[in-house]
Amino acid sequence: MGAVAINNERHGVYAVVAITKHGVEIARTLGRQLDGADVYYTEKFARGDEEEHGIRLFSGNVKTLLPELFARYDGLICIISLGAVVRMIAPLLKDKKTDPAVVVIDDKGEHVISVLSGHLGGANELTRRAAAILGARPVITTASDVQQTIAVDLFGREFGWAWESDDNLTPVSAAVVNEEPVAIVQESGEPNWWPADRPLPKNLTVYGSIAEALAARPAAALVVTHRLLGPEEEAILQNGVLYRPKVIALGIGCNRGTTAGEIETVIRETLHELRFSLKSVKAICTIDLKKDEPGLLAVAAQYGWEFVTYPPEELNAVPMEAPSETVFRYTGAYGVSEPAAKLYSGADQMALVKKKSGNVTISVALIRHGRKENGACDDWSSPRREAAPAKRP
């Protein structure tokens, strides 16, 4: 029997691999207590209950098994010597954005070491979780973790923020950990990105605007906004990273059978007119009559956006600036795109009340997350109205 075949098997998130007697005991403990863990160990130490517990046995050199596990799992926990693991995974490495997390545990279970993909792959967090289960010491050497400062490549990740580009991740990260002056400008998105129980490092300064940050001449910058930057503002990105928070709610109504291509074109054109980033879209919102509209479903699926629908009575309960008797006759609601976007975002004012383009009607609202004491997350946009506010009939 060689390395087990897992191509057609359902598998978890992490593979725990052991090759020694003591390592097997550690692996079984993790298999019981770490959600999403699949356990693999050599058949030499089989106990007879492996099938019952979903444990995979293998024989021969673990080196023949590791490439398949490396390709299939989000993380590997190897209860094998660090040097041996490094040698085995070296030929498998491709890119830090795609390589899985790799964690090594010593044979006594005293140290859990983050080896590969500490940030993007989640090895640092996996190290902490495994160490907590085993009562072991987590060993993490990533500078931002050691210094308890911002991890530039993970900034806002828990909220779904996306980079505009990763070109400057390395030099900006260097500025952060080397305690050089770093500016932070946040125009939108969740404000609670820094732990409340400790102060922000002294080299990091939050500014109320990009203009203020540029005037301070920082060594690097982190900018969080849904806006497309103007030519003068782009100077902040010479050594900066631009993050796109998920704050845009698109309210959309359309004629039955409207193609995904037409809907996508209207979305892109509208956001370009507003100078908003497509990467900051969080959801498409509409009336529940459209819950099975193929074009809307296809666009939402293509971009990984939420797709949310509301019944007419909920839409009618929302104050509207542009109600329509015609829409009411067909749908039972005085509006679709505007109230749907308001319901989802919680916004009182719209970035765009309503625009009709071909078979599509679109409204745009921004999700407000409040204002931080340091001035970030103040007003994000001025409302753009289709016409003077109309009274609801």
* CATH classification (class only), 152-244: alpha beta
Query: In this predicted structure, what is the pLDDT of residue 95?
Result: 83
From the centroid of its chain, how far is CA 91? 29
- pLDDT tens for each residue of the chain, 393 residues long: 445 545 456 578 999 999 999 999 999 999 999 999 999 999 999 999 999 999 999 988 999 999 999 999 999 999 999 999 999 999 999 987 789 999 999 999 999 999 998 777 888 889 999 999 999 999 987 766 667 788 888 899 889 999 999 899 999 999 999 999 999 999 999 999 998 788 999 999 999 999 999 999 999 999 999 999 999 999 999 999 999 999 999 999 999 999 999 999 999 999 999 999 999 999 999 999 999 999 999 999 999 999 999 999 999 999 998 788 888 888 899 999 999 999 999 998 999 999 999 999 999 999 988 644 333 444 333 333 333 333 333
Query: In this predicted structure, what is the pLDDT of residue 120?
Result: 75
Delimit the CATH 3.30.420.180 region(s) of the chain: 248-366
Query: In this predicted structure, what is the pLDDT of residue 370?
Result: 62
**What is the token pair recorded at 187?**
């125009």
Query: In this predicted structure, what is the pLDDT of residue 128?
Result: 92
- CB atoms under 10 Å from CB of 219, counted, come to 17
Helices 123-134 and 21-33, packing angle to 10 deg: 100
Q: Which long-range contacts (CB under 8 A, 24 or more apart) does 203-207 make?
A: 203/176, 203/179, 204/149, 204/150, 204/176, 205/181, 206/372, 206/374, 206/375, 206/376, 207/183, 207/375
- Using CA atoms, how far apart are residues 102 and 124, in angstroms rounded to an integer? 9
Fold exhibited by the domain 248-366: Nucleotidyltransferase; domain 5 (3.30.420)
* Sequence-separated (6 or more) residues with CB below 8 Å from residue 304: none
Q: Which CATH number fits domain 14-141: 3.90.650.10, 3.40.50.11220, 2.40.30.260, 3.40.50.720?
A: 3.40.50.11220
Query: In this predicted structure, what is the pLDDT of residue 4?
Result: 55
Query: In this predicted structure, what is the pLDDT of residue 383?
Result: 32
- Using CA atoms, how far apart are residues 347 and 381, in angstroms rounded to an integer? 12
- Using CA atoms, how far apart are residues 344 and 305, in angstroms rounded to an integer? 13
DSSP letter for 227, please.
B
Query: In this predicted structure, what is the pLDDT of residue 251?
Result: 97
Query: In this predicted structure, what is the pLDDT of residue 222?
Result: 97
Delimit the CATH 3.40.1390.40 region(s) of the chain: 152-244
From the centroid of its chain, how far is CA 320? 32
φ/ψ of 185, rounded to 5, equals -125, 120
Query: In this predicted structure, what is the pLDDT of residue 313?
Result: 95
